[in-house]
Amino acid sequence: MSIYERTLEKFARTSAGYWFVRNVAPRVDPPLLRITGGRVSTVYPAPVMLLTTTGAKSGLPRTLPLLYLVADDSLILIASNYGRPGHPAWYRNLKATPTVEVLAGNRSGTYSASEITDHTEREDAWTKALDQYAGYGDYEARAAARTIPLIRLRRSG
């Protein structure tokens, strides 16, 4: 990681950084990602996508920015919910309707979501997630009562 990336990660793990990623980035990133075709976010160069799911109860489209990992031919999402006790709403949406739209530069398109349940595959993906952002370890400690789900997105059709 560059000095900039290390500084950004260190800031994100502070209370001010935690506040920023929970309150500011989710408001600023959607228009920024749309304007740049999914290439630039408030935490650039970390990969952030705009994920559009279908609401599990409402059936309406729900769009939010999420960090992701690239793994071979798929994208990996971490349902950390910032370490809160419950799973994030987007995770429940994916479980109900696994077809999603992704805006992430040249990775944009329609994807199908599935939870990574194989132990070895999950451990490998979790290690990659921690390499990308060590703060996931903080979230894991906060969410001690639940296992943080990892979701694999595979391009459809």
Architecture of domain 48-155: Roll (2.30)
Q: Kindly list the strands in the beta sheet with 61-67, ordered across the sheet, starting from the edge strand earlier in the chain.
A: 61-67, 48-54, 99-103, 109-115, 150-155, 74-78, 69-71
Predicted local confidence at residue 12, as pLDDT: 84
Tens of pLDDT, residue by residue over 34-90, are 999 999 998 888 899 999 999 999 999 999 999 999 998 899 999 999 899 999 999
Distance, in Å, from the CA atom of 7 to the CA atom of 126, rounded to the nearest integer, reads: 22
Q: What is the mean pLDDT of residues 94-108?
A: 96
In the chain, where are the structural domains located?
3-36, 48-155
